[in-house]
Amino acid sequence: LIAHGLPPSMPAMIVENGTTPKQRVVAGDLSSLPGLAQRSSVASPTLIVVGEVVGLRSVQGNVVTTSTEVALIDHADQISIS
């Protein structure tokens, strides 16, 4: 997407196992998302969302991210940072 003109800073996220109790979200921008996904061991099924709409999501107890680290909050409210 970057090679075709989108800015590297464009917000992007991956939703793994969406709408299930196992849902995880990994968010960053187009330049950081591949590395975040790899470090988070994202597996299918996934949905990739790109654009300003990513900023409209509300974090409801499963994931908080930055461009340099991913904090996954499981359903038992335990936090692990990778």
Q: pLDDT class for 3, splitting at 50, 70, 90?
A: very high
Alpha helices, H only, 1-82? 33-39
Taking the C-alpha atoms of residue 32 and residue 15, their distance in angstroms, rounded to an integer, is 15
State the DSSP code for 61.
Answer: S
Average pLDDT in the 69-79 region?
A: 43
Residue 67: predicted pLDDT = 43
The pair of structure tokens assigned to 31 is 């330049």
CB atoms near residue 7 (< 10 Å): 10
* C-beta separation of 45 from 7 below 8 A: no
pTM for the whole structure: 0.69
